[in-house]
Amino acid sequence: MAAPSSCGPALSLRVVAECGLSKARACELRLPHGPVPSPVFMPVGTQGTMKGITARQLEALGCRICLGNTYHLGMRPGPELIKQANGLHGFMNWPQSLLTDSGGFQMVSLVELSEVTEEGVRFRSPYDGEEILLTPEKSIEIQNALGSDIMMQLDDVVSSTVRGPRVEEAMYRSIRWLDRCIAANSKPDQQNLFAIVQGGLDPALRTKCLEEMTQRDVPGFAIGGLSGGEAKDRFWRMVTLSTDRLPRGKPRYLMGVGYATDLVVCVALGCDMFDCVFPTRTARFGSALVPWGSLPVKNKQFAKDFRPIDENCDCPTCRRYSRAFLHALFRSETAAMHLLTVHNIAYQLNLMRSIRESIVEQRFPQFVRDFMRTMYGSRERYPPWAMEALASVNITLE
């Protein structure tokens, strides 16, 4: 067991255990707001709230780090107000760690994109129609006001389905913007700035990006530009290529990954941190996550199903409520969404905890086999990309 290595003044990482076969590792991150065991799934609390569940409920589920969104919070209520409130931690009264993204992704995915220049991203605000320019400096300024434990650089984001010279341009620009972000960080000893590796689905571009970015003195690295609808077999190859070239002693954050299978596979490929809106979003749409897939509780078939969502789940929802009740409640009551949100977060966090335990106890490959069997039932149904990816790190499924 290694001693904690300092990744920066505000972050240290200790590798607690490594899987002998794959690239999976169990670590402990130490952030300003406390320790975070990894691999870790970070629920997304976009506007300074985990949707309908309270900070106390979230903490009680075992969450030690969650996300806030720079774009949204930068618009409303704005960095000035949040600064007055003692940062985002103070504003939402969240005692554990926070990670904020840069605003880059939202600007691509959500709003009418006017222009990306070397200066920054110029776009039109959906709230008052005003033109806003988000530069690397501006993004860091907002994130410094938010006071998150981990901040993300502003990167030049292109969709993973885009081809051609735009991908290369975005990759090089992201490196230059990383340097500007590092220079703009006014609180390097309290807030960790992570780099985001780009390069699309092109191995050469990714490699180049990794070479450059790993030369910068940042406490951690994110793998970006993936999980956007690209083919899975290209996805995993970029992930594993990246983890091969990222330093062992610093955390690897794979952005936007949240489906259970993807989590398990990408842990095997060497990733430590994940985030995704999927579990909480699908809860609000009436779907409960279970080890064998998902239950669309809103569907008629559950009207008289008096079992809990998962008999083996210990979350507050499964301890007290049945599928039938949730089905009935979903028609009209917000409480149904909250109950499912609680369960789905519990599911994700339990999954990560089980993954971590199995790594620590040196039985991760067996865990993976059991997981796949429970999820898919039989070998014929295992997704080929997952089998390939796991095989590439020496985990064979029966």
Partner 1 sequence: MHRAGRVASLWQRRSRLYPRSRDRDLLRPPVMTCRVLIGPGKRAAYVREAAGASQDLHAACQLTSMKLSLSKVVSGCRLGTLTNLGKNGVQTMELPGCLLYTKTGSPPHLTHDTLQAIKGVPAVVQLTLSTLVELHEVLEEYKEGIGKFIGMPESVLYCSLHDPGSPCPSGYNNNKTVSIWGYGGRMEMTGSKFMSMQRALQPDWIQCLSDGDTISGETSRKRAKKSVDRSLSFLDECLQLQEKSPELQGSVMVGVIEGGDMLEERLRSARETAKRPVGGFLLDGFQGQAMAKETKLKLMASVTAELPEDKPRLIHGIGKPDEVLECIERGVDVFESFYPYQVTERGCALSFSYDYNPDPEAAVIKQNGIQDAGKNGTEKDINETSKADPEITSFEIFLKEKRYRDDFGPLVHGCTCYCCQNHSRAYVHHLLVTNELLAGVLLMMHNFQHYFSFFHSIRDALRDDRLDQLKELIFRQAL
Which residues participate in the annotated binding site for Zn(2+)? 313, 315, 318, 343
Distance of closest approach, residue 343 Cβ to partner 1, in angstroms:
10
Distance CA 59, CA 72 (A): 23
Residue 101 annotated to the active site: yes
Distance of closest approach, residue 308 Cβ to partner 1, in angstroms:
11
Eight-state DSSP code of residue 50:
B
Q: Among residues 87 and 224, whose Cβ is nearest to partner 1? A: 87
Distance of closest approach, residue 324 Cβ to partner 1, in angstroms:
6
Distance CA 268, CA 229 (A): 21
Residue 272 annotated to the active site: no
Q: Among residues 162 and 277, whose Cβ is nearest to partner 1? A: 277
Distance of closest approach, residue 295 Cβ to partner 1, in angstroms:
17
Contact positions toward partner 1, by CB under 8 A? Answer: 47-57, 60, 72, 76-77, 81, 84-85, 91-93, 303-304, 306, 316-317, 320-322, 324-325, 328-329, 331-339, 342
Distance of closest approach, residue 93 Cβ to partner 1, in angstroms:
5
Neighbour-count burial of 290, counting CB atoms closer than 10 A to its CB (0-12 exposed, 13-18 middle, 19+ buried): buried
Write down how long the chain is: 398
CA dist 53 to 69, 258, 329, Å? 17, 19, 17
Q: Among residues 295 and 395, whose Cβ is nearest to partner 1? A: 295
Neighbour-count burial of 57, counting CB atoms closer than 10 A to its CB (0-12 exposed, 13-18 middle, 19+ buried): middle
Helix or strand or coil: residue 384?
Answer: helix
Contact predicate 267/37, CB 8 Å: no
Which of 156, 262, 275, 310 is labelled catalytic? 275
Helix or strand or coil: residue 262?
Answer: helix
- Residues 6+ positions from 3 with CB-CB distance below 8 Å: 14
Q: Among residues 22 and 69, whose Cβ is nearest to partner 1? A: 69
Q: Binding site for substrate, residues?
A: 101-105, 155, 198, 225
Contact predicate 253/29, CB 8 Å: no
- Dihedral of the alpha carbons of 216, 222, 227, 233, in degrees to the nearest 10: 70
Which of 101, 149, 272, 310 is labelled catalytic? 101
Distance CA 380, CA 337 (A): 34
Distance of closest approach, residue 391 Cβ to partner 1, in angstroms:
43
Cα(first)–Cα(last) distance of the chain, in Å? Answer: 31
Q: Among residues 306 and 314, whose Cβ is nearest to partner 1? A: 306
Q: Binding site, residues?
A: 101-105, 155, 198, 225, 313, 315, 318, 343
Q: Among residues 146 and 239, whose Cβ is nearest to partner 1? A: 146
DSSP secondary structure letters along 208-233: HHHHHHTTS--SEEEE-S-SSS--HH
Q: Among residues 320 and 379, whose Cβ is nearest to partner 1? A: 320
The number of angstroms, rounded, from the C-alpha of 66 to the middle of its chain's C-alpha atoms is: 9
Distance of closest approach, residue 73 Cβ to partner 1, in angstroms:
9
What tokens were used for 60?
């009680």
Q: Identify any residues that bridge with 196 across adjacent strands, giving them in sequence order.
A: 222
Helix (H), strand (E) at residue 118: none
For the annotated catalytic residues, the residue numbers are 101, 275
